[in-house]
Structures are given as structure tokens and as C-alpha cells.
Structure 1
Amino acid sequence: MSSAIPWPVPEPVLPTGVHPALAAVARAAARAYGDARRRHTRAELGAETAMGADGTPTMLVDELVEEAVAEAARQAGTNLLSEEIGFVDIGSAVTLVVDPVDGSANAASGVPLSCLAAAVSMDGTATEALTCWFDTGRTWHAVAGRPTPYRTSGRTRLDGATVDVLRPRPRAREAWHRLTDRAGRIRILSSTCLEGALVAEGAIDAFADAGGDVHRIMDLVAAMVTVPAAGGAVVDAFGRPLEIDPDLTRRWSGVIAATPELAEEVAQAVRG
């Protein structure tokens, strides 16, 4: 675990028409993560350097990538709401809501399951989203209200579904078992934003935090655009509204599902 991660991080493959600010932060994040992997060992990337604005520890890999993202957002002339530094207001009508490194522990260890996820917010509404899988350069892009090439699996029932989950939290173990006992296949990939994109394209049926109240808004915001455009739904398991809010102490138990019907069955299983 002390050695450097040997393989490079590719440039993001960006679709035509993506918002320039989203393109800028995706490129900046990929380059910063690639540079961090060249310069630092796994142990160094995973070392905690500070406490983030969301109240959770910041790893060195988070810090290095977020610095690049913040500079890209500044040059693009947008406000920024990001996991570690919080809200940076430069007086723009546009705010980028960004998770610079979703799956930080994966990214620091060299597990190739981490990504940048970002959305354009206008007056508190997410209008466009981009998710970039660091180790492949693959991206998922969607604009609210426009057709998308992605389609969910269309599954409506939890029994037998393929469901990705976060690890069980001590206070929510019963909810975790209620959910997983009904699913046909379970995975724990530790990257909510990447798993949300996989729901959008039909690779998995659903993803959920089974009652742990782990999610911040930047964990869910890209899926809030991409998944409904593909036929699915993104909700909180306990019915709380998903709101873009600079208060990063707010938490949700996100459910990302192929259909509204499946989202409700997953949420019901979590609630018990």
C-alpha cells in the first residue's frame, strides 16, 4: 500500500455540447488526480490532511484534486459548492455543485472505481450534469428536460433486483438486511456517483444508502439529472426533499433506481 499507482489517468472523453465549466472541471480533476498518482504513494494520498466543510476528514487526494477544480471553476466564472471547501461565491448566476473525488478511499488505494461528479445549478435547480470515471476517461452527460442516450433497466420490483449499496452502518444494520435479503445480487463499489451512472445506463437496477444518512447533496446531484432523464428516479429513503443547499451538514439516505416504482420499494425496505 505504500507504492505509487503506476498507470496513468486518461483525459475525459467529453460529449459535444457539454457546458464549458463542466468540461473545465472534469479536465482539471483528471489531470490533478493523474499528477497526484505520479507524485505520491498510496499511503500519502490516503493521509488525512484537514476536516472538510462537510464535517468529514479530507484526504490528500481530495485536497489536490479539489484545488484544481476550484481554480477551474474560478477561471470559468462560476460559483462553486464542493465537498471539502464548501461554498465559494463569486457573484455568478451559475453554481457548480461538485464532488471532486467520489470514492476517495478507492482513488487513494488505486482501486479503479472513483470519479468526478458535477452539476450546473441555476437558482437552486440542477440543469446539467457530468460524471467522469477517472480510470477510463468515460463520461456520462445529461441536460434536464432533454433526451438522453441512456436507458435504465426498467425494473419495477426489488425482489431479485441487482442492487449496489453502501456498507451497513451500525445504526442501520436491520434496514441493510431488509434490503439486501430481497435483492438478487448485491455489490459494494464505494462510489455513489459512479453507481448512479450505472443505474442510468441499465447496468444495475438500483443503488441505495440503507438508512445510514451518509449522502451529501454532491453525492446525488449528478444522478438527479442523469437518472430521471433515463427513466429512473432519485429519492431520499425517508422522503426528505433533495435540495441544493450550501449547508453541507445536511445528509440524506439516497436511493437511485431504474423506475419510480423500484425507488419506492427500495425506500420502503429501508424504512421497514
Structure 2
Amino acid sequence: MEWNHKQLLDLGLQVTDSCLATVNESSDWSATGELRGQHFGDVVADEAGLQHLVDAGVNVFSEESGLLDQGSTVTAVLDPIDGSTNAAREIPYWTSAICLLQRGEPVAAVVRLSGSAGVFTAIRGQGAAFNGRKVVSSSTSLLKKSVVFVNGYPRHYLGWAQMRALGSAALEISLLAKGSGDAFIDCSDGLAVWDYLAAALILVEAGGVVDVQNDDLLAPTLDRGRRKVVAACNSQILNALMSEPGDASLHG
């Protein structure tokens, strides 16, 4: 089957809806002991989303179940639940995220928020939306006036006005797309491709910019490696962050 981009977006909407419909804060969020950070709720959500993708005949690269090759030109990069530690602690900041690649290039993305809080979508070359309404990233041009989302622990203050740490990279990067923040910095040991790819496409389509350590967003590497990510509402903020003393803590 030759998919068009709208069909792939619709598939992503179905998958993320099913992932979130199968779990809630009262689900079993204890650790499986199988994969780093994996909870039983993650596995349940993955099984629900995976069924749609298997039926559709597309390839899948999922955080929870790995690679499924069905010989398709389409590959779905799936994080059934991003922020499962939040879900386990009943902190209402978690999402289901999927990016659809066609012949290796990201073309459609969905980040659906828990609790019916909304859904971010994007089709490559057609912009980004939140709950169906077009969104654009912030026009903030000064780091000292920026609200910055942080994953991990920065080595020192980088000059922002305020910072936030919500515990879901997909959520935080997506929020930049509608101007709810101005930048995102990963100061951990890196993010996996399923953590950031869907949100990165959404942000880029909203006018933002994303820098991924040793990788190309237009032809992402699909593996379990971890890469540091810096995202911003525009190139001025990204450049300001990357040029700050200590930026080696981001990409070193």
C-alpha cells in the first residue's frame, strides 16, 4: 500500500488514542525489570498501539517491543507512554508519541496528552497543530527572557528567565510548538529516538529548531542509542544556548 501523509497522520491518531485508552494512573505501573525504565503500563499501552500498526502492515520501532519489520516503506517510531514515571506517581504529565517515517524520512507525527488534555499533530511541509488549530513557536529572541524546559541536571545556570522540568521530553518539546516555552535542553545521558522524534517534527513544522547530537532529523538513525537534544523556538535562542560557557555539558 502506498500511504499518503494524511493517512499516516490518521494512523498515528488511532495508535496514540488506543495507547492512552488502555492505561490510567490506577494501572499497574510497577517496573517490569526487563528494560530500563519500563513499567507494566508501558507494555499494556504498547500492545494496544502495536495491534493497529501490525494490521496496517507498517514497520514498527517501539521503545517497548523493539523492531518489527513487515517489509513496508513506512516505519512507525512509537513511544506508547512517554513519562510513565509521572503516571506511576499520579503526576498528570505524560503522553503517547508516534512519528511516521516514509522511506526513512519523518512525514507525520502525533503527541497525544494524557487525560484528554489535547493532541499535537504535524505533517511535513504543512505545519503543526494543537487540537486541530495551527500553532507557531514563540518569537522570543533573548535567552534572558526565555522559559526553558530541562531534562536532567544542568551543570550551571545558562541565563534563562525561568526553567521547568515536567518529566516528559515529548510533552516539553511539543509545548514549544505553541509558545508555552522557548527552549528545551537535555542534560541527561541522552534521549532515545522515540523520546523526541515526533515532538521534534511538530516543533520544526511550527517554526522551531532542533539539534540532535550526531544525527539528522530528516534521516534519523533508528537504534537504541541515546543522543543529547537541544530544541528552541527559533535559531537565536538555540544559538544562545549552544554558545553559552559549559555547552559541552549538552553535547560533550
Q: Normalised by the shorter chain, which TM-score bucket?
A: 0.7 to 0.9
Q: Which residue of 1 aligns with 2:3?
A: none
The question of whether the paired residues in 2 share the 8 Å contact of 1:21 and 1:78 is answered with no
SS of corresponding position for 2:47: helix
Deviation at 1:23, TM superposition (A): 2.0
d(CA) in 2 for partners of 1:220, 1:257? 13
Distance 1:240 1:80, change over 3 A: closer
Q: Which residue of 1 aligns with 2:231?
A: 256
Q: Distance in 2 between matches of 1:198 and 1:123?
A: 28
Equivalent residue in structure 2 for 1:124, among 104, 107, 115:
104
Question: Unpaired runs of 5+ in structure 2?
Answer: 1-5, 129-133
Structure 1 residue 71 displacement after superposition: 1.3
What is the CA distance between 1:20 and its match in structure 2? Answer: 3.0
User: Residue 221 of structure 1 aligns with which residue?
Assistant: 197
Structure 1 residue 122: Cα displacement: 1.1
Q: 1:268 to 1:178 in 2, by over 3 A?
A: farther
Tell me what 2:242 maps to: 267
| Residue ranges of structure 1 left out of the alignment (5+ in a row) | 1-15
Deviation at 1:130, TM superposition (A): 0.6
Q: Which runs of 4+ in 1 moved over 6 A?
A: none
Question: Are 2:8 and 2:100, in contact at CA under 8 Å, matched by a contact in 1?
Answer: no
Give the % identical residues.
Answer: 27
What residue number does 2:148 align with?
Answer: 163
Cα distance, 1:115 vs. partner?
0.2
TM-score by length of 2: 0.86
The answer on 1:19 being equivalent to 2:2 is no
| Correspondence for 1:96 | 76
- Aligned position for 1:200: 177
Asked if residue 76 in structure 1 is aligned to residue 56 in structure 2, the reply is: yes
What is the number of equivalent residue pairs in this alignment?
A: 236
The answer as to whether partners of 2:214 and 2:227 remain within 8 angstroms in 1 is no
Residue 140 of structure 2 aligns with an amino acid whose one-letter code is R
Specify which of 109, 129, 134 is matched with residue 114 of structure 2: 134
Corresponding residue for residue 246 of structure 1: 222
Helix, strand or coil: the match of 1:166? strand
**Residues 167-206 of structure 1 correspond to what in structure 2 (within 5 A)?**
167-168=152-153, 173-174=154-155, 177-179=156-158, 182-206=159-183
Contact (CA 8 Å) 2:58, 2:75: kept in 1 or not?
A: yes
User: Compared with structure 1, are the counterparts of its residues 104 and 22 closer, same or farther at alpha carbon in structure 2 (3 Å cutoff)?
Assistant: same
Alpha-carbon separation, structure 2, partners of 1:239 and 1:20: 31
Shift of 1:222: 1.1
Task: Tell me the amino acid that sits aligned with residue 202 of structure 1.
Answer: G
Backbone CA RMSD of aligned residues? 2.0
SS of residue matched to 1:215: coil
Q: Give the conservation status (yes or no) of the 8 Å contact 2:177–2:233.
A: yes
TM-score by structure 1 length? 0.80
Residue 253 of structure 1, CA deviation: 1.1
Tell whether the 8 Å contact from 1:24 to 1:73 is kept in structure 2 after alignment.
no
2:33 to 44, 47, 50: 50
C-alpha contact (below 8 Å) 2:193/2:222 kept by paired residues? no
1:206–1:258: 8 Å Cα contact kept in structure 2? yes
Name 2:138's counterpart in structure 1: 153
Report how far residue 18 of structure 1 moved. 6.5
CA distance in 1: counterparts of 2:127 and 2:91, whole angstroms: 33
- Cα distance between partner residues in 2 of 1:253 and 1:85: 23
Q: Secondary structure at the match of 2:143?
A: coil
Per the TM alignment, residue 223 of structure 1 is displaced from its structure 2 partner at its CA by 2.2
